[in-house]
Homo-oligomer: A and B are copies of this chain.
């Protein structure tokens, strides 16, 4: 259907030492036992050590320890976690603390809690997260060689022409001066995307910053906490200019994304208009219930 060759999915930040490759179907297809939920086994007592002097909260230490056990394969899909009471007495914690840890994992989709039953580990395949990541970082994480070619860099431009492009933004947010940059993103020598970004002038990054790293890394370095983003994704035919830059013979389809990013107090950080070479790129999206 779609060439998955350039499918870029960001692996989780904490790299598992022994990542489970593919799917380890523990049991064959017994029809009563669903494939996603292999033979449940007895609860396991994980060898967890907590550092009460660490600035990292106990519940988070615990959550990370369990997550590591899941990602390393020490706990397999279908395994039951040690029950909350046993875990808390064993580790010298109060129940709410342990519950906070397990709740964190449940929200991430790593485990399911069932009243009267216990907490079960889910198949890691269904755990990928939708992250606010930059293409640059995604490419790096996937072990590819990203490059950037700065096509234009204009400081002090207006962003009000964006109003007509379907962005759902208030006029007040688009007033003032902006930095507009256009970049060509290349991976392993192949052009992959044309990225156009508008940033409020107060966040202007230098041309040098953009060359060596991704835009988001540059913003984080300036102390911006990225928080919420929306993306509107669609597709259309490439224009002649786009086809030339992306090395596609026309007619060709491109994937388009219009992204609006805010920081943790709701201030506008960036508006990105991205054009991806659809034949070499696909987007991973997770959906919540």
Contacts and interface: CB of A to CB of B under 8 A. Distances in A.
Interface of A: 1-2, 4, 7, 22-23, 25, 28-29, 31, 34-37, 77, 96, 107, 109, 112, 120, 122-123, 125-132, 165-166, 168, 170-173, 175-176, 225-237, 251-256, 258-259, 262, 264-268, 273, 276, 278-279, 281-289
A109 to B, nearest CB: 5
Given A28-B172, A29-B172, A255 B233 contact: yes
Contact of A262 (B36, B166, B276): B36
A173 B35 contact: yes
Contacts of A229: 286-287
A107 B108 CA distance: 12
A256 B25 contact: no
A166 B282 CA distance: 11
A187 to B, nearest CB: 16
Interface centre among A31, A125, A254 (most CB of B within 10 A): A125
How many copies of this kind of chain does the complex include?
2
Contacts of A268: 34-36
A29 B202 CA distance: 14
Given A131-B287, A176-B29, A251 B254 contact: no
Given A36-B173, A253-B254, A285 B231 contact: yes
Given A2-B232, A77-B266, A170 B287 contact: no
Given A126-B262, A234-B278, A29 B285 contact: no
Interface centre among A1, A34, A276 (most CB of B within 10 A): A1
A2 B234 contact: yes
Contacts of A25: 170-172
Contact of A126 (B165, B228, B251, B252): B228
Contacts of A251: 237, 251
B168 A125 contact: yes
A251 B243 CA distance: 15
Contact of A232 (B112, B166, B225, B284): B284
B130 A256 contact: no
Task: Rank and list the top 5 A-B pairs by shortest CB-CB distance, nearest first.
Answer: A235-B235, A36-B266, A234-B282, A251-B251, A235-B278
A85 to B, nearest CB: 18
B233 A23 contact: no
A123 B231 CA distance: 17
Given A1-B273, A2-B232, A233-B282, 20 more contacts: A23-B170, A23-B173, A25-B170, A34-B267, A36-B265, A77-B266, A126-B228, A126-B230, A127-B228, A130-B286, A132-B288, A229-B286, A229-B287, A231-B285, A234-B255, A235-B253, A235-B276, A253-B254, A253-B278, A255-B255
